[in-house]
Chains A and B, each alone.
Chain A
Amino acid sequence: MANDTEHTVGIRIEPGRGIAFFGIEEVNRQLTAGRRIKEIRPGGAVMSKVGEDEHNVRLQLAGCDLQIVFE
C-alpha cells in the first residue's frame, strides 16, 4: 500500500512454481467498505537475476505491479 488512497496490486511469476497475486485482498476490502476506484496506473516491472558474467548481469521479467487509486 502506497498510502491511504493508493494500493499496489501485482503478480510475481516463478517459472515452474506458480503465480503469486499480491494486494487483491486489500483492494477487495476497500471495495467492500464502499470506496470507489478513481484510477488505475501502471506500476513497475519486477526483474529477477538469473546469472551474470564479467560484463553483464542477466535478468528476466518476474512480475509487475499496478497502482489502484481510490477516491
Chain B
Amino acid sequence: MAVLLEAWNVVARRTAVEDRLEGDVDGWFRLAPNQTACVGPHLCRIGFMHGRDATEFLRQLEALGLRGEEGGTYREVAILSPTEPWQHTCPWIELGHYAGVQAAWLRGANPEPLVVPFSYRPEARIFDLGAEEAAERFEFLRREGNIEVYRDRQTDQEVYRGRTTEDAALPEDVGQRFLRAVESIEPLLAWDGIPKRLGLLERRRLRKGIAALEGLTGTTRGAWRIWFYLGMARRSARDAQGAYEAFREAYHDNAEHSDVVREYSGQCLALGRGEEAVALARRNCERNPNDASLRSNLALALMIADDMPEAKQQVDRARAMEPDDPITAALARMIDDVLAGRTRRPEKYP
C-alpha cells in the first residue's frame, strides 16, 4: 500500500499509531488538524502546506509517544517531501512515482493500492517552490482564518495556502531563553556588518550565546527570530559561512521581513554571492520602494555582481531620495571610481 505525497507530509507507521495513540487509527484522524489524513494497512499520512505546520504536528505526535528523529534517522514518524525525507534519513520508507502520483510505501511491502484522502482532487494545482522562488512569484495579500492569500505575479490570480499553526511569538519557555541569550550578546553584535575586535572574555561570551541560540533552533514557532540573531552572532564571531546559513534559514522561515532580507543579502555580499544578493535586494526594493538605504544596498549588490551600469543607476536613485546620506555618497564615489578605472571592482563586501 502506498500513500499519496504532496507538499509537506507527516507519515507514520500504522503499527506505531495503533500502539501509541488512543483509539489507534481513529486517534490519527482525531488529531489531524486538516482534512488530508488517510491510512492504509501500513502507513498513516497527513499533508501540510507549510513545513512549520508539519514540524509542529510531528512534535505533537512525539509528545504522544511516537518516535520521530533519533540520531539522524526517523524511527516511527517522519516528515517527507514528495521526493525525499526531510533533513533526516528514513530507511523504512520507499518513495517514488506510483499510480501516476508521487507516493510513499513501507520498504519491502507491495505499494498496491494507492491510498489518497477524501479531500484529494487531482485537478488541484499545488505549487512546490523553495522560499526564494515563492517570494519572487507570490505577493502576500492577507490572512483569512487559517488560509493565507497570495497574488501570483505571473497570472495575477489569487492563490491560497492552508495553515494549521499561527506565526505567533516564540513559545514562552523558548522565548525566555532566547531573550537571555540575546541580552548577553547584543553589545557584541556587528550590526554594521563588520565584526568588532573582541577580547578573550567577550569571545567566550559570544561563543556561549551562539551555543544557546543553536540549542533553540528546533522550535517550531517564530524560529526566524532565533536564526536571525544566530546569523548576527556568527557574523560577529567571523563565521561568515555559518552566518550565511543562519540568515538563509531565517529567510526561509520569514521571507517578508525586511531586516531578514537585508542581512541575508548582506551576508551574500560578504561571501561574494552577488547574484543571490541582487535578487534579494531587488525584492526588498520592490516591497519598500521609498527606502533609500535598501536601494543603496541594491546598488552595492549590483556592483559585487559585476553589473556596473545598473549599480550606477540605482545609487543615483538612492542619492536623489536621500542626498545627505554619507554611506550612499561613499558608495556612489566607489562606483564612479570603478567605472573610471581608478579602483578595482570589489568582489565581496566587506
* Interfacial residues, chain A to chain B (CB-CB below 8 A): 12, 16-25, 28
Contact = CB atoms under 8 A, between A and B. Distances in A.
The winner among A22, A24, A25, A28 for most chain B CB atoms within 10 A is A25
B279 interface: no
B99 A18 contact: no
Interface of B: 1, 25-26, 29, 37-40, 98-100, 111-118, 120
B113 A22 contact: yes
A8 B100 CA distance: 16
A17 B112 CA distance: 16
The list of the 7 closest CB pairs from A to B, nearest first, reads: A18-B38, A24-B99, A20-B113, A22-B113, A21-B114, A25-B99, A20-B115
Contacts, number: 45
Given A18-B40, A19-B118, A28 B100 contact: yes
Contacts of A16: 26, 29
Contact of A18 (B100, B111, B112, B118): B118
B38 A28 contact: no
Contacts of B26: 16
22 contacts: A12-B113, A16-B26, A16-B29, A17-B25, A17-B29, A17-B38, A17-B39, A18-B39, A18-B40, A18-B115, A19-B117, A20-B1, A20-B113, A20-B115, A21-B113, A21-B114, A22-B112, A22-B113, A23-B112, A23-B113, A24-B99, A25-B111
B42 to A, nearest CB: 12
B25 A20 contact: no
B99 A28 contact: yes
A61 B40 CA distance: 19
The winner among A20, A23, A24 for most chain B CB atoms within 10 A is A20
Contact of A20 (B37, B40, B100): B40
Given A24-B100, A25-B99, A28-B99, A18 B116 contact: yes
Nearest to B36: A18
A30 B350 CA distance: 60
A26 B113 CA distance: 11
Contacts of B116: 18-19, 21
Contacts of B29: 16-17
A22 B112 CA distance: 6
A48 B123 CA distance: 29
Contacts of A12: 113
B55 to A, nearest CB: 23
Contacts of A17: 25, 29, 38-39
A17 B99 CA distance: 19
A55 B99 CA distance: 42
Nearest to A13: B118
Nearest to A26: B112
